[in-house]
Structure 1
Amino acid sequence: MKTSIKQLAISALALTLFTACSEGDDPLPIVPVETQMVQDFEAPNDVIDRTTGTIVEERPFQYFSLEQNAQVSEGDDWDLAFKGTTIRVNATKNVSAAIVTGIFDQIDSVPADASFASDTETELAIPTGGGNGWYNYNPALNTITPIPGRVILVKTTEGNFVKMEILSYYKGNPPVAEIDPFTTPSAHYTFRFALQPNGSTEF
């Protein structure tokens, strides 16, 4: 079968267009996700009368935007709210969280079996209580320490994924052996996090 000059011209044009589109569709370079460090984020608990268990002074939650890497007000688009050992997620903005076990630096994507949840009236996405969520409580020493290998995953107000590790609950991030529960200021969070801004599950 003979090929006409017209057919050859059409084939050449199609090849040119395909080549141009392929060259123009090269993926954008991947920007490495940076780990951010937050030190001494202060979020004091309510003042409680230890003899009666009643709250003497109720203190406000302190709000943090992972998207902005900054403390914000309650009226802003916050992701997490801290008070004492309690961490809330902004359920009204569809923020959710999951707790996984692993090495922070080795978690390079959101695990397929990570179970994300938002806060409800009866249950927190990041559970409180010693051994339940991110920390252990030592009743003998009266200290709060992060559980080793416990990583918090967060889906932010913008729908981006974050991996987060709490490093210390005490001001100055002191070694555990140097914590004095009576003199070392508590509820001063030191944590690190990495945010993937493009909406993917990769870190």
Structure 2
Amino acid sequence: MNPTPRIFLMLLGATLLFHTTLNYMEENIEDFETVPLPPKKIKKISTRNPIIQVNAKDRGSWTLVEFATGKTQKISEAEAETNKLSQVSWDLAFSRTKIISNGGKTNPSGKTGIINLGPVDFDNIKTAPETGYVQDNRSLGNLINKELAGWYNYRTRTHNIESKRNVYALKLNNGIFMKMRILNYYCAQPEDTCRSMLCTREEAACLTIEYILTEPGSNTFVPPDTYLTKNIQSPEKIIE
């Protein structure tokens, strides 16, 4: 008997099993977020920059964020597949670990684009790039922005989510530039605590984001303490 068909079927079966396993892990990642990680020394971040915490716990909906106003709103995944996203004002949307932006395949009438600047010093980014911004696309039927897709490390042994704390430059729908980084994925616990103790599912998917916007017509990031509209310095925040 010719062994070629048998080998082909074995490879096909292994491929299907591999993709089924990956899909299960992606769709059920929050079921494993309660497993503790071994202790690890983590660098604390001090910042006077604006901070926003986004509640992205509901895997069946998207939390839309407009950074200029700090406003958030929720829409269902079904609504996201309609023209609903073009009827509201927003910049980024969050659902658990997934992030989409207001542009490209997500919203063809939107103009938001993103550049992953990597693990650089946040405050050393003084100006936003003029070009090179990437908009959303579809991959295997899912909306995705390749610049943001790898924002976290996923530990396969413990199923913990850890932000890489990369810095991202964004050109928003209104033409304003923004820089941001995701500091934490857990609601009331610092990431290093969730590496060494039990963090429940309810404590996950609250993304803490540091960001700065430029003034209209400028691509220069102005530190918050230099804004003329502020009479006192922003209190320093410690992010673990």
Superposition TM-score tier, normalisation by shorter sequence: 0.5 to 0.7
Q: Give deviations 1:12-37, integer Å, cap 9, x for gaps.
A: xxxxxxxxxxxxxxxxxxxxxx8311
Kindly provide the amino acid, as one letter, of the partner of residue 63 in structure 1: L
The total of aligned residue pairs comes to 151
- In structure 1, the partner of 2:97 is 85
TM-align CA RMSD:
2.2
After TM superposition, the structure 1 = structure 2 runs for residues 5-84 of structure 1, keeping only pairs within 5 Å, are 35-39=49-53, 41-44=54-57, 46=59, 59-72=60-73, 74=85, 75-84=87-96
Kindly provide the amino acid, as one letter, of the partner of residue 166 in structure 1: I
Q: Distance in 2 between matches of 1:191 and 1:63?
A: 14
Q: CA deviation at 1:61?
A: 0.7
Q: CA deviation at 1:62?
A: 0.7
Greater relative contact order (CA < 8 Å, ≥ 6 in sequence): 2
Kindly provide the amino acid, as one letter, of the partner of residue 192 in structure 1: E
What's the TM-score once normalised by structure 1's chain length? 0.66
Rg bigger for which structure? Answer: 1
- In structure 1, the partner of 2:180 is 164
Which residue of 89, 97, 116 maps to 1:99?
Answer: 116
Query: Does the C-alpha gap of structure 1 residues 135 and 69 become closer, same or farther in structure 2, counting only changes over 3 Å?
Result: same
Q: Distance in 2 between matches of 1:142 and 1:64?
A: 27
After TM superposition, the structure 1 = structure 2 runs for residues 102-141 of structure 1, keeping only pairs within 5 Å, are 102-111=120-129, 115-122=132-139, 123-128=144-149, 133-141=150-158
1:154 aligns with 2:165: no
Equivalent residues of 1:65, 1:77 under 8 A apart: yes
Kindly provide the amino acid, as one letter, of the partner of residue 185 in structure 1: E
1:174 aligns with 2:159: no
Kindly provide the amino acid, as one letter, of the partner of residue 164 in structure 1: M
Q: Distance in 2 between matches of 1:147 and 1:61?
A: 22
State percent identity of aligned pairs.
25
Equivalent residues of 2:169, 2:178 under 8 A apart: yes
Q: Which structure carries more helix by proportion?
A: 2
Q: Give deviations 1:30-74, integer Å, cap 9, x for gaps.
A: xxxx831112x111253xxxxxxxxxxxx1111000121221355
Structure 2 unaligned blocks of 5 or more: 1-47, 75-84, 222-240
Query: Does the C-alpha gap of structure 1 residues 110 and 138 become closer, same or farther in structure 2, counting only changes over 3 Å?
Result: same
Equivalent residues of 1:61, 1:83 under 8 A apart: yes
- In structure 2, the partner of 1:20 is none
Structure 1 unaligned blocks of 5 or more: 1-33, 47-58
Kindly provide the amino acid, as one letter, of the partner of residue 147 in structure 1: K
Q: CA deviation at 1:174?
A: 1.3
